[in-house]
Structure 1
């Protein structure tokens, strides 16, 4: 199935691991740029909150006996999409 609902548990775990790796790489430059902003300003607060949410998302305790759900994979994919948008130069 296209939404991942029919994927094998091992396949979903592999997708989760790959997404988490991408997030780790993509988040670093965004975090550096965010830290350069004035701490306490609205842009800094907004970006820091989103990055902290993403950090929490990838650091949830591993579920050894429970494969990731399609909803969790969608959250991770959305995080990757948001981080990629933050990489694009301002137009």
Structure 2
């Protein structure tokens, strides 16, 4: 969890994708698209919930996939829907215009 705390303390945006092994392959193309779209705006980090149970529980993540956007230790956006990459980008675009 200390690594997570270090990541979110950044003044840059950090986009997390929490996934399970069941939906990993289905999400791969979408996450690649998001990473490409955000390459100059945010770090993109994939988190396997099976390997990070303590973090997943601490953030009360129960639906997968769950996407979270942080900046300066603050969660600025969260969504637990199975969205396409363009839908995600449309939802979070407002944060990058500030």
- Which TM-score band (shorter chain)? 0.3 to 0.5
More helix by share: 1
Give the TM-score taking structure 2 as reference length. Answer: 0.34
Which structure carries more relative contact order (alpha carbon 8 Å, separation 6+)? 1
Which is greater in Rg? Answer: 1
